[in-house]
Structure 1
Amino acid sequence: MRQATLHQLKVFEAVARHNSFTRAAEELFLTQPTVSMQVKQLSKVVGLPLFEQVGKRLYLTEAGKELYTTCREIFERLSQFEIAIADLKGLKQGSLRLAVVTTAKYVIPRLLGPFCQRYPGIDVSLTVNNHERVIENLVDNRDDLYILSQPPEDLDVSIHPFLENPLVVLAWRNHPLANEKNISLKRLAEEPFIMREPGSGTRKAVQRLFDDQGLELKVKLDLGSNEAIKQAIAGGLGISVLSLHTMALEGPSSPLTILDAESFPIQRYWYIVYPAGKQLSIIAQTFFDYLMNEGKTVAEETAFHDLFNYGSKPDSEEK
């Protein structure tokens, strides 16, 4: 095993965790043939096959299970080593690993700007993924902090709200409802909706609102990104509900408008999440404190102040 490289172990661990060469390649930004080659070379070093294919499913062999357990122990020790070194260096040098859900890409980069200017020696790795992938990373404790709009309810994690994330109704600016006031939910229910994929936090919140009123949400089109939804709205395909933060870069000439509808905005929040009991490095703790103490102010200063006044932040909670 002394001939095995750390890179090969990382590739193997990703394949074993996902039970998929394809998903491991996506996570590691490698081609699938490269991932397969690395696993094949590692199998030669071990002297036994690490995976077996049954039908279309991939399974770990006994040797693979042993190596996977060993890899997790190695990477956990390395993570502890990184924390210790970061603490020794203080805030002069080090790294910060963040995993955020897709919509947070409109928020976190703006908040990172002033933080990185304050601490120029810190290297930041920002991973943007859908809710499911971020939760997978959280379960595996692969990052320092996680930013979510829908914290998990079935995991032992610490949860801290730090910034409002209101959901608003968006329509084409020439839509018949664009100039109406206090539009009823019943009237909105007559419109075709363009929504994120089933399972997304935004869609669940909207579905819950309509269900509570006994109304049917007519989803005409499912799209996997907020930008695609905004383009579809501009194309006149329907209306949608998105985070207000998705409008951050829209100017006065935007083809989109926010509808004045009852029960909106739906008040939600951005949360900092990490495994309960996790020892945060000095860098992660400093960024955590920065978000909790300065996050809202920085967001208002770097975006549009008048669109953030949608209520007060709830008390922090832990689960």
Structure 2
Amino acid sequence: MRELTLRSLRVFEAAASTSSFSRAAELMAMSQPAVSQQIRQLEEEAGLRLFDTHARPIQLTDAGRELLRHARAILAQVEVAADAMSSLEGQFKGQIHLGVVSPAQYFAPALLTAFRERYPQVRVKLSIAQRDTLLAQLAEHKVDLVIGGYPPAHAEVEAEAFARHPHVLVAAAGHPLADQRGLQWADLRHEPFLFREPGSSTRQFLEQLMMVQGLQVQTAIELQGPETIRQAVMAGMGISFMSAHVCQTEISHGLIRVLDVAGMPKWLDWCLLYRRDRPLSSVQQALREFVLAEGAALAACVLG
């Protein structure tokens, strides 16, 4: 593929990411025929079909998926080089894409605001998703860094802890258990519990705790997402287990109470995750250093 150009790789990556030549044309400020021509030239260079254009939406072939993996790596490395040139002039420019798990959305904007006060020319993008989705996006060069918990052992990422992450049992302000001290897990057995949706790491954590404590609840209510859980707790629907970040405002204003249960809160670590197989750009390194230095203060929680 001797005639391969960065322009053609960017066009290909746009088409692959959107599963649409017309959408790729919009993103690249090109006409759709021009995008189709670029893809045909790539296919001629490769000697293989890259897209199944009969499918709706269009789908990558096996060859297309392999080329996409390399294209994203090449384009990411070009960005690293461009950032390095900017940093030699004492400037930090470009865009950084940070992915966070949902509880981190409650402090990530403050973190990025403080970062941009130090580096005002850097553009930032923030995405929120479950951990497994973010790890896949990190592997595919769709995000630059991720804030979450420790990754599974098989993940090819570096993980650096920068702050503590408390998980608490919470109830509405007027709940009968809200003012009691020294509660045991057995005291909760008759309480309706609000669970996150299947696949949620918070739900998995709670289920493990219940198994260890030998607690079987009589009423389990499943709700989607931390926002719904928070509102349901305030409405008195039941008690729940959640990241303290999710309900900081409500705890501070006395709308939600942290229950005083033996062995609680449970503390995890917030980690900054990034790929192991390529160096960070100067801008990414600047964010890494900022998070490690300032992240603990910016992610601090009130527990009651």
Matched with 1:313 is none
Verify: 1:9 aligned to 2:8, yes or no. Answer: no
- Cα distance in 2 for partners of 1:106, 1:258 equals 18
Q: CA deviation at 1:241?
A: 0.9
| Alpha-carbon offset, residue 198 of structure 1 | 2.2
Cα deviation, 1:179-200, whole Å, max 9, x if unaligned, reads: 1112211222332221222232
Identity %: 29
CA distance 1:82–1:198, shift in 2 (3 Å):
farther
Alpha-carbon distance between aligned partners in 2 of 1:193 and 1:292, rounded to the nearest angstrom? 36
Question: How does 1:135-146 map onto structure 2 within 5 Å?
Answer: 135-146=135-146
Whichever residue aligns with residue 280 of structure 1, its letter is L
CA distances 1:194-243 after superposition (whole Å, capped 9, x unpaired): 12222322222221111112223567333332111111112222111111
The answer (yes or no) to whether the contact 1:100–1:126 under 8 Å persists in 2 is yes
Describe the shift of the 1:38–1:106 C-alpha distance in structure 2 as closer, same or farther (beyond 3 A).
farther
Distance (Å, rounded) in 2 between the aligned partners of 1:143 and 1:7: 16
Deviation at 1:89, TM superposition (A): 4.4
Q: Give 3-state SS (helix, strand or coil) of 1:166's partner.
A: strand
SS of the equivalent of 1:11 reads helix
Do 2:72 and 2:141's aligned partners in 1 also have CA atoms closer than 8 Å? Answer: no
Report what 2:193 is aligned to. Answer: 193
Matched with 1:268 is: 268
Give distance in 2, aligned partners of 1:61 and 1:90.
43
Q: Write the distance in 2 (CA, Å) between the matches of 1:81 and 1:119.
A: 19
CA deviation profile, 1:259-278 (whole Å, cap 9, x unmatched) = 11112101111111112243
1:50 — aligned with what?
51
Q: Provide the residue aligned with 1:206 in structure 2.
A: 206
Classify 1:162/1:70 alpha carbon distance in 2 versus 1 (closer, same or farther; 3 Å).
closer
Q: CA deviation at 1:114?
A: 2.1
* Count of equivalent residues: 289
Displacement of 1:166 after TM fit?
A: 0.5
Q: Is the 8 A contact 1:150 1:201 kept in 2?
A: no
Shift of 1:247: 2.3
**How far apart in 2 are the matches of 1:159 and 1:237?**
37
Cα distance 1:256–1:50, how it changes in 2: closer, same or farther (>3 A)?
A: same
Secondary structure of 1:126's partner?
A: strand
Instruction: Kindly report which structure 2 residues correspond to 1:1-319, keeping only aligned pairs within 5 A, or say none.
Output: 8-14=11-17, 50-51=51-52, 60-61=60-61, 64-65=64-65, 67-68=67-68, 71-216=71-216, 220-250=220-250, 253-300=253-300, 307=303
**TM superposition shift of 1:37:** 11
Q: Partner letter of residue 13 of structure 1?
A: A
> Cα distance, 1:63 vs. partner?
5.6
Residue by residue, what CA displacement relative to the aligned partner does 1:140-172 show, whole Å, maximum 9, x if unpaired? 233322100242222122111111110011111
